[in-house]
Amino acid sequence: MSPAEDTATTPATTHDEPTAAAATGQPTPDSTPPAATTTNTATPTCAFPGCDRPITPTERPGRPPAYCDDPNHNRLAAYRRRRDLARRDTATSPDQSGERPTTHRPLASGRLRADELAAQIRTLTTDLTRNLDAFAREMASLGDVARAEAQVEAAEAEAAERVAEAVARAVRAEQAARAEHSARAEAEAVAGEAVAALEDAETRLTASETAAATAHTEAAAARTHAATAVAEAHATAEARIQEARDHAAADIDRARADATAEITRIHADAARTRTELTAERDRLTAALHTAAQTADRDAANLAELRADRDHLRTDRDRIRDDARRERDELARLHTAAKNDAERARTAAAEELERARAAATEQLEHLRAEAAARLHAEQQAAAERLAALADARAEARTRAERAERQVDDLTAELRAARTHLAHLAPPPRAGEPGPAERTETTTETT
């Protein structure tokens, strides 16, 4: 092989290495830009959160850039920035679960249970909303193409660095091979000079037959030595070139394997994160189902409390009606007693007049009999009046006790209505107030 052929072979080998680097998906410095590019009418801005600078145009082929000329604005930094902003918003969001004041007024056990269940429902609702928001953000970040592209881009950047190092080592090996080619060319030049000297010796050999044998022997030895040196130089140069190529190929394969392993690890991490988020979603779904069941039980308890309230109102109305009927009965008995006494007096007077007109001689006897009868009637009337007074006192006691029960029930209902204003309906306009109870007590007295 001549030096010219070696020189022609070397550039072809040099151009094969960037082709291997281009096979990894990384752009090369001498890549030819595309023939036509798309021009947007509106100037796009940087995709980094909070940055309004225009995007720096580039001549590289592939996807158009999405960030400005700031080296810190890239997909990975943008993803981290969005994640920090989301965490900051979550940390500064107000917690609505502790804003409602706690009521310490004594109520029935059912109402206390209803309050506790309502507080638990509000707490579970707040926690569930916060967890669902976090779950939605995690699912959005998991499905974020920018995040996946940033991770792949980081892995590809690291692989590109390793490939660049391998290419640099290959270039250095190629330079060493070129040096070996130069040495081989020099050896061939020396061999050419030896051949020229040999030809000169042969020319001189024709002039002197005596020195011909000696010169021929020396020329053969020089030719053999030169051929041996040239063969050794060729073998050494080819071995070094092959070794450099093998090292470069091994480095490129190792860099590709490392990049593939890194990408596989990133995909495994993404799958593991997706599995964890799926488990968290299932747990939150179960918690939501439990909260819905608790809400149904609370609604049933609230319905029972409303039924108890209706029963209490019915009892209050019944007690009030009983008190009114007893008051009317007392008034009727009092009127009947007055009428009986009046009739007794009228009958006694008539009997006395008849006794006076019938027999004067029996006047004293009839007077005594009338006096005895009048005394008996008066005693009977007194007994009736005493019985009426006792009945009136008992009725008044029962009415006062009923009014106290009504007042207690009304106060308890008012407290429950104040505490459960968002659950119980407002009081009806026809219900009696404190003024009406005062008037009822006055009428009973």
Confidence (pLDDT) at 404? 87
**Token pair of 130 as six digits:** 């916060």
Is 65 part of any domain? yes
Residue span of the structural domain in which 55 resides: 46-85
Higher-confidence position of 180 and 239: 239
Question: DSSP letters along 398-410, please?
Answer: HHHHHHHHHHHHH
Is 375 part of any domain? no
Confidence (pLDDT) at 97? 44
Residues forming beta bridges with residue 45, ordered by sequence position: 54
Instruction: Please report which confidence band the pLDDT of residue 195 belongs to, taking 50, 70 and 90 as the band edges.
Output: low
Mean pLDDT value of segment 171-192: 70
pTM of the model: 0.23
Identify the CA nearest to 285 among candidates 131, 120, 96.
Answer: 131
Cα dist from 204 to 190, 197, 201, whole Å: 21, 10, 5
Percentage helix, strand, coil, to 5, in the chain? 80, 0, 20
Instruction: Please report which confidence band the pLDDT of residue 216 belongs to, taking 50, 70 and 90 as the band edges.
Output: low
Is 150 part of any domain? no
Confidence (pLDDT) at 389? 86
Confidence (pLDDT) at 150? 66
Identify the CA nearest to 25 among candidates 250, 245, 246, 263.
Answer: 263
Asked if residues 255 and 162 have their Cβ atoms less than 8 Å apart, the reply is yes
Is 179 part of any domain? no
Residues forming beta bridges with residue 54, ordered by sequence position: 45
On average, the pLDDT of the chain sits at 69
**Per-residue pLDDT tens over the stretch 217-230:** 765 776 677 677 66
Is 70 part of any domain? yes
Is 436 part of any domain? no
Confidence (pLDDT) at 8? 38
**Per-residue pLDDT tens over the stretch 82-93:** 888 888 876 765
Confidence (pLDDT) at 341? 78
Confidence (pLDDT) at 31? 38
Q: Is it the case that residue 30 has pLDDT exceeding 50?
A: no
Provide the terminal-to-terminal Cα distance of the chain, rounded to the nearest Å.
Answer: 140
**Per-residue pLDDT tens over the stretch 403-427:** 888 888 888 888 888 877 766 555 5
**Token pair of 77 as six digits:** 């930094």
Please tell me what DSSP assigns to residue 424: S
Overall domain count for the chain: 1
Is 66 part of any domain? yes
Cα dist from 110 to 106, 412, 424, whole Å: 11, 13, 14
Confidence (pLDDT) at 320? 83
**Per-residue pLDDT tens over the stretch 262-303:** 777 777 776 787 787 778 778 877 877 787 787 778 777 778
Q: Is it the case that residue 109 has pLDDT exceeding 70?
A: no
Question: DSSP letters along 324-366, please?
Answer: HHHHHHHHHHHHHHHHHHHHHHHHHHHHHHHHHHH-STTHHHH
Is 57 part of any domain? yes
**Per-residue pLDDT tens over the stretch 342-396:** 888 888 778 767 756 666 777 677 778 878 888 888 888 888 888 888 888 888 8
Q: Is it the case that residue 40 has pLDDT exceeding 70?
A: no
Confidence (pLDDT) at 179? 74
Q: Is it the case that residue 5 has pLDDT exceeding 70?
A: no
